[in-house]
A = this chain, B = another copy of it.
């Protein structure tokens, strides 16, 4: 039986799990509902069962596990610290050691956005890059910053929180407690809230048609369709969010002059309207050197970036141990 790397992406609604060969070839993936309200022990047991199942089906033995968690964790001890989007008692849970005991191999934790950045760095657009700024734009805005080929973690694993840059000093309150963070202005829910506002005001006829007037059906993808169909104010709301993202990217580009900026997560999947405006507005904001020296790309790995990052994490931490 051969050894394999295991990646786990622990999300608010679902657990995804993947296997890769020791050479880094993808073997298979599988997912299951998180059911976080059942508590950490149950969730970690379910992850272990999922891994065990997948490994048995593909006749491999887990060598090490890289697991992304939606929040902050003590990376050295494998203890979760603050997972705001997981119901249940997740503060100070030794998730790494517990899962390691279940699976009989080492477990390495990382913030899920940083893990996706690592995936993009090692297996996506970032291959060969010295510097990369990675945003994952979905329910929140997470990120990862790569300098000199290294993903930056900081002493508490919290470096890279570039969704919490202040973009509008007196802007809306963010979940983190600050005002006017990029996350509060351009995450999926922030964009959708603008769509709902326009819908309620009767200012978005195509969005109304697409969603049958149901505010709960409004999301960035529906808004992109409505904009394309001719809803000018919906279009402007999307472009405004894109410009906020461009400002956040430009601040980082001006500070680091990386090779590239990568946009991951569900929101950029709405279509070219977002990324085209991010590219255009970045050029307006970066004036200290030619902005066209920095590429702006949608994630190559898309919703697999996290799992690829888990593979890279397991491999990297095992080989440096």
A164 to B164, CA, bound (A): 18
The quantity of this chain's copies bound in the complex is 2
A232 to B310, CA, bound (A): 55
A161 CB within 8 Å of chain B? yes
A254 to B178, CA, bound (A): 12
A55 to B159, CA, bound (A): 46
A154 to B165, CA, bound (A): 22
Q: Are A166 and B255 interface neighbours, CB within 8 A?
A: no
CB distance from A20 to the nearest CB of B (A): 28
CB distance from A114 to the nearest CB of B (A): 12
Interface centre among A150, A160, A164 (most CB of B within 10 A): A164
CB distance from A245 to the nearest CB of B (A): 12
Question: Which residues in B have their C-beta under 8 angstroms from that of A289?
Answer: 72, 154, 156, 158
A sample of 23 inter-chain contacts (CB < 8 A) reads A72-B289, A145-B255, A147-B147, A147-B152, A148-B150, A152-B256, A154-B256, A155-B293, A156-B289, A159-B255, A159-B257, A160-B255, A161-B288, A164-B288, A165-B254, A165-B255, A166-B250, A166-B285, A169-B243, A169-B244, A251-B251, A252-B255, A255-B255
A1 CB within 8 Å of chain B? no
A247 CB within 8 Å of chain B? yes
> Which residues from 135 to 170 on chain A have a C-beta closer than 8 Å to any C-beta of chain B?
143, 145, 147-148, 150, 152, 154-156, 158-162, 164-169
